[in-house]
Structure 1
């Protein structure tokens, strides 16, 4: 497949185009990337008077996913929220859930998944909202955390190296593009892996990055580029695929542990070493540049995936890049 066809296929995929709804939602609420909490990041960044930052994030889940795999949906309710907090250089402290179901019996697998993940990651569910009068299952989960030295989506700068840190010791959980490496992992490994991110932030090694979300590696790169007001080129020749994955699917996959980080060239080896110590894959896969295009390259071949200035994605509406 040529890079042009690959870029076109990715641009039209529902998991990538689904993020366009964020811009419509923030516009309806009168929010922009300049608003309190900086919408467009993985979690709201809320300064504390005593130093550091509170982090607040939440996830709602596709009804079909919840109906077809309620236990895993419950697990993911915890997992993806903790990933958002880690992506911000933070540590999660508590979760609340919002559950709709026809009955307690119908909700049981979902609740069991929530409880199992809460216990595995060591972050308590402290309350929420439950309704057993709904016609079908529904789930949303909210998380509170704290960061001493945050990682944001707004601080990538031209000249930075783009690193991907991903746990590839898993497999796909059909029928979606969810690549899960968490269910069979010991709890101490799950907790220690997530803690690498705040450790890197506190050491001053990483200031910008994002959790690889449902829009996959390419969609996450686009969100990071738009929020920071930069261009990103992804070098597909440097992306290692897990066994059995095609390049197109991997570029839009949602890994249970996956982060894109913008790192200064002199810090690349130190950052990679932190992940390698925990048997996590980490490698440079691209570069941060001046401009607004997110492009794919492979050798001399190059194709435009998305230009956020010509076609806004999240619409964070920052008037000038932070690095300008």
Structure 2
């Protein structure tokens, strides 16, 4: 077995990726059977984009936090519910405008700690909590958040716009550390002032206005590779993810095998053209972030990993949907 073979097996069985395998059947059922409204960008996107009568679109997103984190680290669970939603809004080029939450628990101390985390997150990301639902006598413990945002129509970023010959670039903050409560998390938020966090996130607003990218996603719990695979599939494309490039740009304190799977708290994956990379690097640096290329897009509908002289197929979208199927029903 080579190192690349070991990495391939590790990624296929990684929970952050494997939990996504159920999505195609759910998304297809919703696309085909639920009521169709005027939402040109919905299922499969980080944020749904809802048309209005103005030049703006309303962004809407939802994220839940796993029960284990709610029980073991409730304050962190509340905070991360806000973080996850806010990242989705910025990934679409927007600015968050409100946050709503559903909170369920049986232990009052846990419920109060989750609430404290939500309040802390609202201050860090400068988003008001405007609505909520609480069940204090539940047999399960969870927090589910939803956020709204706004972006001008012409600046809306999509997760499905990657084109063949595009370059895949990751934006992230090198000044971070492993998450205190999640070993596969890169935390660049909790030690920063709110203004510093928002300034870094606003990089996506500048990138959207300058129209420097064809596709955008925040780096989710699926990690760098899983997020890239989701973008490629939703775009109807394939690509090569270059692990040597990722290895060169990773934080030195984090081994490659961990970095590939990490949830990056201020991380975005972009598809762009070669000529826009210098400007992307310039804008990222101005916002305190690094912009590092990690791969390329092609028409193969294969997600391939390369390391040294070896190349292996991770996913073959020609065989069927895997993670986030392209919306062919529109």
Deviation of 1:241 after TM superposition, in Å, equals: 2.0
SS in 2 for 1:151: coil
* Aligned 8 A contact 1:166 1:258 in 2: yes
Deviations 1:198-227 (A, max 9, x none): 111111112311111110111101110011
Q: Which runs of 5+ in 1 are unaligned?
A: none
1:159 and 2:165 correspond? yes
Deviation of 1:50 after TM superposition, in Å, equals: 0.8
* Aligned 8 A contact 2:200 2:288 in 1: no
Deviations 1:69-124 (A, max 9, x none): 11111110111111000111111000001001115433111111110110111111
1:80 and 2:81 correspond? no
> 2:324 & 2:61 partners in 1: Cα distance?
19
Query: 1:24 — aligned with what?
Result: 25
> 1:175 & 1:39 partners in 2: Cα distance?
28
> 2:126 & 2:324 partners in 1: Cα distance?
35
Q: Which of 303, 326, 329 is the matching residue for 1:294?
A: 303
Deviations 1:127-165 (A, max 9, x none): 111111113421000000011111111111011111110
* Aligned 8 A contact 1:4 1:304 in 2: no
1:253 and 2:254 correspond? no
> 1:175 & 1:257 partners in 2: Cα distance?
15
> 1:58 & 1:305 partners in 2: Cα distance?
28
1:316 and 2:294 correspond? no
> 1:97 & 1:64 partners in 2: Cα distance?
18
> 1:176 & 1:40 partners in 2: Cα distance?
27
Task: Map residues 9-88 of structure 1 onto 2, 5 A cutoff.
Answer: 9-31=10-32, 36=39, 37-88=41-92
Q: Which runs of 5+ in 2 are unaligned?
A: none
Q: Which of 221, 237, 244 is the matching residue for 2:244?
A: 237
* Aligned 8 A contact 2:176 2:187 in 1: yes
RMSD between aligned alpha carbons? 1.9
> 2:313 & 2:277 partners in 1: Cα distance?
26
* Aligned 8 A contact 2:187 2:264 in 1: yes
Q: Which of 270, 274, 278 is the matching residue for 2:287?
A: 278
TM-score (norm 2): 0.91
Query: 1:268 — aligned with what?
Result: 277
SS in 2 for 1:10: helix
How many residues end up aligned between the 2 structures? 319
1:227 and 2:231 correspond? no
Query: 1:129 — aligned with what?
Result: 133
Query: 1:2 — aligned with what?
Result: 3
> 2:236 & 2:151 partners in 1: Cα distance?
24
Task: Map residues 203-222 of structure 1 onto 2, 5 A cutoff.
Answer: 203-222=210-229
> 1:203 & 1:9 partners in 2: Cα distance?
38
Deviation of 1:15 after TM superposition, in Å, equals: 1.2
> 1:31 & 1:128 partners in 2: Cα distance?
30
Moved more, 298-307 or 192-201: 298-307
SS in 1 for 2:239: strand
SS in 1 for 2:63: strand
* Aligned 8 A contact 1:294 1:306 in 2: yes
* Aligned 8 A contact 2:304 2:315 in 1: yes
> 2:203 & 2:287 partners in 1: Cα distance?
9
